[in-house]
């Protein structure tokens, strides 16, 4: 990491705290000296001493920050991960699918949840015709209720992709199933909903997608550029879709060899640091600058960047799902 990157990370870490402290110190010095009976020469000397002290404090603070940054990467990562509660990766370990790496695609997903059971989920599999289906979603709330709702969607997706040809139909059938279940069990909370993105890709790289979810990123290997792709479709919900009109077949694009699609939940860019600043656009800058050779390493580095930004804590589930065309 070069000096400019270190300075950038330093101010992302401290947020507004240190600049505010510097400003307050300067105001106090100015007020004290301007109201004192000291001579002009004495005030100038004290101003210079105060500025030197302030510079020294900031310099030492930055050096201490760099010292932590230059620790071995695994040691830094280990210290951060210890601050997570035990069990935050249980859904990843026990439930979510293993990576796919075959003749057509490489697919990798990663999640960390705010609670041991979270509302984020992802799924990917191949249907009986050899098409690849990827789903990523975020159920409202945290904890077991959000997790159970997510697993209902997870389970329905795994079944329905074998019965229907496009993502629009699968989402419609998931919502129909949810409506029937709600009618059968009125105690189900009707305000539950999930953002959901469902992608279907054939072996040639032809891609369809549907669902209301945060936009995703299509990295084009030929131009080495990222393109943000907006989603369109429906939530997973019994109450929030009445005014929405989905256009079947509208959302299509093609992937060429080396192209990567990055899908994620809002927890990635809504993580805040101590200065209350979101990770935000840093996510898209990261996806532009990171080496595209290793999907697992991309996920590891991204999660580490977010943990650095937040000081080793998260406020929401966060998930990334990636697919690379061979």
55 confidence band (pLDDT: 50, 70, 90) = confident
2 confidence band (pLDDT: 50, 70, 90) = low
Q: How far is CA 114 from CA 200, 264, 271, in A?
A: 29, 15, 11
pLDDT tens readout for residues 67-88: 654 444 445 555 555 544 433 6
Mean pLDDT, the chain, integer: 85
- Between CA 272 and CA 314 the distance in angstroms is 8
- Between CA 254 and CA 150 the distance in angstroms is 29
Q: Is the per-residue pLDDT at 269 higher than 60?
A: yes
- Between CA 91 and CA 113 the distance in angstroms is 8
Looking from the CA of 5 toward its CB, the CA atoms found within 13 Å total 10
- Between CA 19 and CA 25 the distance in angstroms is 10
What is the token pair recorded at 271?
A: 């993580």
- Between CA 231 and CA 208 the distance in angstroms is 11
158 confidence band (pLDDT: 50, 70, 90) = very high
Any idea which residue has 């041991």 for tokens?
A: 116
Q: Is the per-residue pLDDT at 113 higher than 50?
A: yes
Segment (H or E) for 148: helix 144-160
């Amino acid at each position: 990491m070069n000096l400019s990157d270190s300075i950038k990370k330093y101010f992302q870490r401290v947020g507004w705290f240190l600049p505010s402290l510097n400003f307050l110190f300067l105001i106090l010095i100015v007020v004290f000296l301007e109201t004192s009976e000291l001579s002009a020469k004495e005030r100038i000397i004290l101003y210079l001493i105060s500025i030197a002290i302030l510079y020294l404090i900031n310099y030492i603070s930055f050096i201490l920050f760099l010292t932590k940054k230059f620790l071995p990467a695994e040691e830094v990562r280990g210290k951060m991960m210890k601050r997570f509660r035990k069990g935050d990766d249980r859904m990843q370990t026990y439930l979510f699918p293993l990576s796919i790496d075959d003749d057509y695609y490489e697919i990798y997903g990663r999640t960390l949840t705010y609670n041991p059971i979270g509302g984020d989920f992802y799924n990917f599999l191949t249907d009986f015709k050899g098409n690849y289906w990827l789903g990523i979603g975020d159920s409202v709330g945290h904890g077991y209720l959000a997790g159970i709702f997510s697993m209902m969607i997870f389970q329905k997706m795994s079944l329905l992709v074998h019965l229907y040809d496009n993502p629009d139909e699968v989402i419609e059938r998931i919502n129909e199933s949810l409506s029937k279940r709600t009618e059968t069990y009125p105690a189900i909370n009707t305000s539950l909903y999930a953002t959901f993105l469902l992608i279907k890709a054939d072996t040639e790289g032809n891609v369809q997608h549907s669902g209301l979810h945060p936009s995703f990123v299509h990295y084009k290997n030929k131009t080495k550029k990222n393109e943000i792709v907006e989603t369109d479709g429906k939530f997973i919900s019994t109450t929030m879709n009445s005014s929405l009109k989905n256009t079947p077949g509208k959302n299509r694009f093609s992937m060429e060899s080396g192209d990567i699609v990055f899908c994620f939940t809002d927890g990635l860019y809504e993580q805040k640091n101590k200065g209350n600043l979101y990770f935000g656009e840093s996510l898209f800058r990261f996806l532009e600058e990171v080496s595209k050779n290793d999907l697992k390493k991309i996920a590891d580095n991204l999660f580490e960047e977010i943990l650095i930004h937040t000081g080793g804590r998260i406020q929401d589930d966060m998930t990334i799902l990636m697919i690379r065309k061979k």
